[in-house]
Amino acid sequence: MAAPINCILVDDEPVALDIMESHLSKIEDINILARCNNATEAFNVISKENIHLIFLDINMPGISGISFARSINKDLQIIFTTAYREYAVDSFDLHAADYLLKPISFERLLDAINNYRKNHSEKEITKIAEREAEFIFVKIDRQMVKIDFEELLYIESYADYLKIHLLTDTKITRETITVIEEKLPSSKFLRTHRSFIVSIPKIESYTNEQVVIRQKSIPISRSFKEQVLEKLAEYH
């Protein structure tokens, strides 16, 4: 049996709430914890309940659905339910689980739920893998050497080798930066430049152009800037 999904419905139209509730009642393991008429009511619910998924209208009085989505915990997944096509780009920027146009059919809603389940499962698997990984082995001088993530400050790429800067020393390997990047958990390490990967917990300060680790200024290149700043913004 699939894990239960605790959800809330947020819409200022009672008829729209009735339709969504009717559709969702036919889907196994969906728990509707609340029906909210506006964003303020929804804020109150998510502060008290363990919510997984929010079905959210966009055009509401007071706080719009888009503004509401920007203000809540990013771990809360959102499926927008709206009569307006023009907000689809905003929903993409907010990493919404789906974007449903009214009138919403049961089949389309079921497809959105199934996609949510699939993506949620994949994210949980990734989180578990990253949580369990605390080190990697890297080939150095014909032997595989253990590199503990807690010791790793940053990695610097040169023409045909890498410098792995640790708390106490520096290791040199012939691996490419792309290969080693794939071995590192994205929750702990960040590519800032074609020649640099940094340990997020070791960053002491940063600007739009650089991060600083142990007084070493490491550049943020134009091609990586957007993803770097977006990732670091998660820790504000």
pLDDT at 92: 85
Instruction: Say whether 19 sits in a helix, a strand or coil.
Output: helix
Distance of alpha carbon 143 from alpha carbon 2, whole angstroms? 45
Q: Between these two residues, 29 and 99, which has the higher pLDDT value?
A: 99
The structure tokens listed for 212 are 């600083």
Dump pLDDT digits (tens) for 52-74. Answer: 999 999 999 999 999 999 998 77
What are 6-27's pLDDT values in tens digits? 999 999 999 999 999 999 999 9
pLDDT computed for residue 236 by the predictor? 79
Three-state secondary-structure class, residue 150: helix
pLDDT of residue 125: 58
What is residue 128's predicted lDDT score, i.e. its pLDDT? 57
| DSSP states of 33-53 | EEEESSHHHHHHHHTTS---E
Is the pTM higher than 0.85? no
Place of tokens 């070791």: 202
Query: Each residue of 101-151: pLDDT tens digit?
Result: 999 999 999 999 998 988 877 676 566 556 667 899 999 988 999 999 999
Query: CA nearest 110: which of 95, 120, 122, 98?
Result: 98
